[in-house]
């Protein structure tokens, strides 16, 4: 609230300074032809004084009209009536100041219409001139204020959209983490039932993975080398259980510090184990290839397909990761292919794309 008031104060203060300078320039330029015999320094001094006087009329007019404009609860007809009364009062004040103060006391002459015929306090031409001078200022101040309000509204909408995306991403991560933990604990449970010697190592490896999920994944972005390290830890857990599984992991990155949203890449690996190689006994394989060149990521996973796939196996991981990619990297390319004996997933993310989250 305080920042909004400060912003309005700065914008309006700048407006009045620039408007005052413009009016001084225009009146000084006009006085050169109206009073050619008067020294320019005196004309400039007179112009500075009279424009300050006009500001005392124009500023109350401007903020009275803005006040009525912002009172949205006022009936439309009443609004127009208030506008008319305020403008009429300002025109009368403008004429009074011009006719009775500026010409006799600052210029030292009688106000005339054409340089010869004296002008009265009110007549059609001079009243119209005063009206146009005031309306010109009103149009400027309304334009500045409406533009300022629109910019604030755009910022608020942008902030709300960003907060909504953050909330949705947080919710998606909250769904993914328990799913990942459930699947991994199932793996270790199977090892424990067999009283496998590797069970303690698997638990230790899981602790590293969960440390990553709890602390690192809380960040919006992490370096890709940390994300790849987490994938390697996950693969170590799987290697302990699946002794006959062929795992090939290849990475080629030219910028390990490139930032990426956590828990995206590993979901494809986890899905490959959960819905692919976990029951491909004796012939299971998973090949992972990651390349990052010139800020373009090429991520490819190919894994063996289980012989008797479950008809109702959960797809929550894939659904969530698709949604995260839509939010974070709108122009990503994701292809998922399935043949009789394998699944293939390819993901391309261009980090140069300005539309990324």
User: In this predicted model, what pLDDT tens digit does every residue of 58-95 receive, in sequence order?
Assistant: 999 999 998 888 876 667 788 888 889 999 999 999 98
Domain end residue (candidates: 62, 97, 122): 122
Contact between residue 271 and residue 318 where contact means Cβ atoms under 8 Å apart = yes
Report the alpha-carbon distance of residue 329 to residue 264 in Å, rounded.
11
Within this chain, do residues 344 and 220 fall inside the same structural domain, yes or no? yes
User: What CATH number is attached to the domain comprising 220?
Assistant: 3.30.565.10
Angle at 202 between CA 205 and CA 212, to 5 degrees: 25
Within this chain, do residues 57 and 168 fall inside the same structural domain, yes or no? no
Within this chain, do residues 193 and 81 fall inside the same structural domain, yes or no? no
Q: Which two tokens stand for residue 292?
A: 């990052």
With respect to residue 139, please indicate whether it lies within any of the assigned structural domains: no
Eight-state DSSP code of residue 278: G
Within this chain, do residues 117 and 168 fall inside the same structural domain, yes or no? no
With respect to residue 136, please indicate whether it lies within any of the assigned structural domains: no
The pLDDT tens digits of the residues spanning 231-240 come to 998 888 778 7
Within this chain, do residues 107 and 171 fall inside the same structural domain, yes or no? no
Q: Is 48 helix (H, G, I), strand (E, B) or coil?
A: helix
With respect to residue 151, please indicate whether it lies within any of the assigned structural domains: no
Nearest 5°: phi and psi at 122? -135, 125
The pLDDT tens digits of the residues spanning 314-337 come to 455 677 788 888 888 888 999 988
With respect to residue 128, please indicate whether it lies within any of the assigned structural domains: no
Alpha-carbon Rg for the chain, nearest whole angstrom, is 37
With respect to residue 137, please indicate whether it lies within any of the assigned structural domains: no
Report the alpha-carbon distance of residue 299 to residue 268 in Å, rounded.
10
Within this chain, do residues 179 and 273 fall inside the same structural domain, yes or no? yes
pLDDT at site 250: 94
Within this chain, do residues 92 and 179 fall inside the same structural domain, yes or no? no
Within this chain, do residues 314 and 205 fall inside the same structural domain, yes or no? yes
Share of residues in the chain with pLDDT > 90 (%): 29
Pairing of strands 246-253, 259-260: unpaired
The pLDDT tens digits of the residues spanning 91-146 come to 999 989 888 888 888 888 877 766 566 677 777 788 888 899 999 999 999 999 99
Long-range contacts of 219-223 (CB under 8 A, 24+ apart): 219/262, 220/166, 220/169, 220/261, 221/259, 221/260, 221/261, 221/262, 222/259, 222/260, 222/261, 222/262, 223/256, 223/257, 223/258, 223/259, 223/260
With respect to residue 309, please indicate whether it lies within any of the assigned structural domains: yes
Residue that has been written with the tokens 């293939």 in this structure: 344
Within this chain, do residues 320 and 174 fall inside the same structural domain, yes or no? yes
Within this chain, do residues 190 and 326 fall inside the same structural domain, yes or no? yes
Within this chain, do residues 84 and 205 fall inside the same structural domain, yes or no? no
Contact between residue 86 and residue 68 where contact means Cβ atoms under 8 Å apart = yes
Mean pLDDT along residues 271-284: 66
pTM as predicted: 0.55
Most confident of 226-230, 272-276, 282-286: 226-230
In the chain, the number of structural domains is 2
Contact between residue 298 and residue 251 where contact means Cβ atoms under 8 Å apart = no
Domain end residue (candidates: 122, 151, 177): 122
Domain that holds residue 71: 2-122
With respect to residue 355, please indicate whether it lies within any of the assigned structural domains: no
Report the alpha-carbon distance of residue 308 to residue 264 in Å, rounded.
27
With respect to residue 134, please indicate whether it lies within any of the assigned structural domains: no
Within this chain, do residues 118 and 47 fall inside the same structural domain, yes or no? yes
Residue 323: burial class (beta carbons within 10 Å; 0-12, 13-18, 19+)? middle
């Amino acid at each position: 609230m305080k920042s909004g008031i400060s912003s309005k104060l700065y914008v309006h203060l700048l407006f009045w300074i620039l408007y005052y300078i413009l009016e001084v320039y225009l009146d000084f330029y006009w006085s050169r032809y109206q009073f050619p015999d008067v020294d320019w320094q005196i004309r400039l001094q007179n112009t500075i004084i009279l424009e300050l006087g006009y500001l005392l009329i124009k500023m109350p007019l401007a903020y009275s009209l803005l006040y009525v404009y912002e009172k949205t609860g006022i009936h439309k007809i009443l609004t127009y009536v208030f506008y008319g009364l305020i403008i009429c009062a300002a025109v009368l004040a403008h004429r009074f100041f011009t006719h009775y103060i500026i010409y006799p006391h600052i210029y030292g002459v009688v106000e005339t219409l054409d340089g010869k015929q004296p002008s009265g306090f009110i007549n059609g031409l001079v009243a119209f001139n005063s009206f146009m001078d005031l309306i010109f200022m009103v149009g400027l101040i309304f334009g500045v204020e409406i533009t300022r309000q629109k910019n604030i509204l755009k910022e608020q909408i942008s902030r709300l959209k960003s907060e909504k995306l953050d909330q949705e991403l947080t919710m998606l991560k909250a769904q993914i983490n328990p799913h990942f933990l459930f699947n991994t604990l199932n793996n270790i449970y199977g090892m424990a039932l067999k009283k496998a010697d590797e069970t303690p190592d698997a638990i230790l490896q899981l602790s590293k993975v969960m440390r990553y999920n709890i602390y690192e994944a809380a960040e919006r972005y992490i370096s890709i080398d940390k994300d790849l390290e987490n994938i390697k830890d996950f693969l170590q857990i799987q290697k302990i259980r699946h002794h006959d599984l062929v795992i090939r992991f290849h990475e080629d990155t030219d910028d390990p510090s490139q930032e990426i949203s956590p828990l995206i890449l590993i979901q494809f690996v986890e899905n490959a184990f959960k819905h692919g190689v976990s029951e491909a006994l004796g012939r299971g394989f998973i090949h992972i290839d990651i390349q990052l060149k010139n800020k373009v990521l090429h991520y490819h996973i190919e894994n063996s397909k289980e012989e008797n796939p479950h008809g109702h196996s959960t797809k929550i991981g894939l659904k969530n990761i698709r949604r995260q990619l839509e939010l974070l990297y709108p122009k990503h390319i994701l292809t998922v292919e399935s043949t009789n004996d394998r699944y293939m997933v390819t993901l391309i993310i261009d980090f140069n794309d300005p539309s990324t989250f």
